[in-house]
């Protein structure tokens, strides 16, 4: 347990000793196995460990990195780990931090996806998922609340969040348009009304509480964080090769219409064209994987999100579930190798989904490191973060509809599912129960109801 230091002690004025690569490796490995709770929970874990307890990075630098990661396409929590790993130990530090954030979840999800698709029709498995799915709706609502309470500090930011919700829910505005609009509003607003888009002085108070950090507000810029055109060109070339080589192998060996090739191409687009982290990308994945390609059903998609919430790692790892089910159902390697087809598909979609995340951090990090005190850059990020809150709320309604009205609005709502969702919300908001405990409790309730009251 880390010792508690009171404000004003000499120990807090001295930053901790530099962290070795080995020590960082062990921490990122541990984080990969304990990072439950979706993006909000994972960011909270990293903040508590890296800012409050270990003091590897200051509050201001942590939040600036987080805002950059939230504006990027892809999973913000995994990108944040990559960013901090890169700050501390250069390129390999970022690669190791980001990879260890994903690998444990990938292995666990391959195993769970196989159990689900092979034995999901068993009453016990169906009952467990009957209880988990309403809990997921409550968890997404809590995520919107938690992120909003941290990101929305004034009425202007609340208004941006509300406008984003109306735009995506009522007007069906594409998410990239919402993000671009928020960035423009932030840029203009930061110049005309800087007080509405600044971060205030909250980091000063947090610094007094947590003490000096290894990477502090005024830490001199490290050599590897300085922008260089030659370094950017090297990253672009390496990234292009890491994408093109497996894509060319798939195309030449299997053809363009093969599910593996189509999945790789679709999740490349998902990684590049969707913004705001896992909760924002899920509607896009639903539209493509369920509606267009029909790799899985709406119910399976929600079940996959449930698995993503109950396993460590980024929530966007639901793509591994989508890939596994798609490869398994399409029998890509024939009826005798269903598990192999699912596992290969899961690995492929994970590779193509996360590769851009590493490239965005390694390529954009040096530029971002020069802007952490510049309002004209931070204001657009602040506005984008506010807009993401509205999009997450829209996602909560999306899942709520499919859970509470599984047969559509023309049918009666599922009042038992509604009761489970309400109980989960009370546990999360009122009693602050951990996400994993809520899911476990709702799973047991769903099993009992499914086996004894709905038969």
Mean local confidence (pLDDT), 8-16: 64
Please state, in angstroms and rounded to a whole number, the distance separating the CA atoms of residues 60 and 63: 5
Mean local confidence (pLDDT), 58-83: 84
The pTM assigned to this predicted structure is 0.72
Rg for the chain, CA atoms, rounded: 22
Asked if residue 197 lies in contact with residue 375, where contact means CB atoms within 8 angstroms, the answer is yes
| Predicted local distance difference test score (pLDDT) of residue 206 | 41
Q: How confident is the model at residue 3 (pLDDT cuts 50, 70, 90)?
A: very low
Structure tokens at 391: 């999009």
Please state, in angstroms and rounded to a whole number, the distance separating the CA atoms of residues 396 and 143: 9
Task: Please name the residue that has the structure tokens 């363009």.
Answer: 256
Q: What's the whole-number average pLDDT of the chain?
A: 83
Mean local confidence (pLDDT), 33-61: 80
| Predicted local distance difference test score (pLDDT) of residue 400 | 83
- Here the contacts of 12-16 (C-beta below 8 Å, separation 24 or greater) are 12/210, 12/211, 12/212, 13/211, 13/212, 14/212, 15/55, 15/211, 15/212, 15/213, 15/214, 15/216, 16/54, 16/55, 16/56, 16/213, 16/214
Q: How confident is the model at residue 271 (pLDDT cuts 50, 70, 90)?
A: confident
Task: Please name the residue that has the structure tokens 């505005």.
Answer: 173
Ranking 115-119, 215-219, 329-333, 406-410 by mean pLDDT, the lowest is 406-410
| Predicted local distance difference test score (pLDDT) of residue 213 | 84
Tell me the three state secondary structure of residue 223. helix
Question: What is residue 432's DSSP assignment?
Answer: -
Winning range, highest mean pLDDT, from 116-125, 135-144, 173-182, 337-346: 337-346
| Predicted local distance difference test score (pLDDT) of residue 33 | 85
Query: Residue 442 to residues 178, 244, 290, 380: CA-CA distances in angstroms?
Result: 35, 44, 26, 39
Please state, in angstroms and rounded to a whole number, the distance separating the CA atoms of residues 256 and 274: 23
User: Could you tell me if residue 287 is left (phi over 0), alpha (psi between -120 and 50 degrees) or otherwise beta?
Assistant: alpha
- Here the contacts of 360-364 (C-beta below 8 Å, separation 24 or greater) are 360/72, 360/73, 360/74, 360/79, 361/69, 361/72, 361/79, 361/82, 361/83, 361/86, 361/94, 361/98, 362/82, 362/86, 362/91, 362/94, 362/235, 363/232, 363/235, 363/236, 363/239, 364/68, 364/72
Asked if residue 167 lies in contact with residue 178, where contact means CB atoms within 8 angstroms, the answer is yes
DSSP β-bridge partners for residue 73: 275
Structure tokens at 143: 């995520």
State percent of the chain over pLDDT 90: 35
Taken as a whole, the chain contains a residue count of 455
Asked if residue 182 lies in contact with residue 384, where contact means CB atoms within 8 angstroms, the answer is yes
Asked if residue 167 lies in contact with residue 280, where contact means CB atoms within 8 angstroms, the answer is no
Tell me the three state secondary structure of residue 73. strand
Report which of residues 16 and 324 the model is more confident about.
Answer: 324
| Predicted local distance difference test score (pLDDT) of residue 455 | 53
Tens-place pLDDT, residues 361-399:
999 998 888 765 566 677 887 888 788 788 778 877 877
Q: Report whether pLDDT(11) > 70.
A: no
Q: Report whether pLDDT(420) > 50.
A: yes
């Amino acid at each position: 347990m880390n010792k508690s230091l009171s404000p004003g002690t000499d120990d807090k004025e001295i930053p901790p000793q530099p962290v070795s690569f080995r020590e960082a490796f062990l921490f990122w490995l541990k984080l990969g196995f304990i990072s439950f709770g979706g993006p909000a929970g994972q960011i909270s874990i990293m903040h508590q460990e890296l800012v409050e307890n270990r003091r590897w990075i200051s509050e201001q630098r942590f939040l600036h990195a987080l805002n950059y990661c939230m504006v990027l396409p892809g999973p913000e929590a995994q990108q944040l780990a990559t960013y901090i790993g890169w700050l501390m130990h250069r390129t390999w530090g970022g690669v190791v931090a980001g990879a260890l954030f994903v690998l444990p979840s990938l292995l666990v999800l391959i195993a769970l996806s196989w159990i689900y698709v092979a034995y999901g029709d068993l009453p016990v498995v169906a009952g467990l998922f009957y209880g988990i799915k309403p809990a997921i709706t409550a968890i997404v609502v809590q995520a919107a609340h938690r992120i909003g309470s941290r990101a929305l500090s004034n009425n202007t930011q609340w208004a941006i969040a509300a406008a984003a919700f109306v735009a995506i829910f009522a007007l069906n505005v594409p998410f990239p348009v919402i993000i671009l609009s928020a960035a423009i509003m932030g840029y203009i607003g930061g110049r005309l009304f800087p007080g509405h888009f600044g971060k205030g002085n909250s980091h000063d108070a947090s610094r007094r509480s947590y003490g000096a950090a290894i990477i502090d507000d005024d830490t001199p810029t490290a050599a590897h964080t300085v922008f260089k055109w030659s370094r950017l060109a090297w990253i672009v070339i390496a990234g292009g090769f890491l994408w093109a080589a497996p894509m060319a192998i798939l195309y030449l060996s299997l053809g363009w219409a093969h599910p593996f090739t189509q999945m790789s191409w679709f999740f490349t687009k998902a990684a590049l064209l969707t913004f705001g982290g896992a909760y924002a990308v899920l509607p896009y994945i639903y539209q493509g994987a369920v509606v267009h390609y029909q790799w899985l059903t709406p119910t399976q998609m929600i079940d996959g999100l449930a698995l993503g919430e109950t396993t460590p790692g980024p929530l966007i790892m639901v793509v591994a579930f989508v890939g596994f089910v798609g490869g398994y159902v399409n029998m890509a390697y024939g009826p005798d190798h269903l598990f192999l087809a699912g596992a290969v598909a899961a690995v492929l979609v994970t590779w193509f989904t996360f590769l851009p995340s590493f490239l965005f951090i390694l390529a954009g990090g040096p530029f971002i490191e020069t802007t952490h005190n510049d309002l004209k850059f931070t204001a657009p990020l602040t506005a984008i973060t506010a807009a993401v809150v509205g999009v997450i709320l829209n996602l909560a309604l999306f899942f709520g509809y499919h859970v509470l009205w599984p047969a559509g609005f023309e049918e009666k709502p599922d009042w038992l599912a509604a009761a489970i969702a309400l109980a989960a919300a009370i546990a999360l908001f009122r009693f602050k129960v951990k996400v994993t405990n809520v899911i476990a409790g709702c799973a047991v309730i769903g099993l009992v109801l499914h086996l004894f009251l709905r038969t």
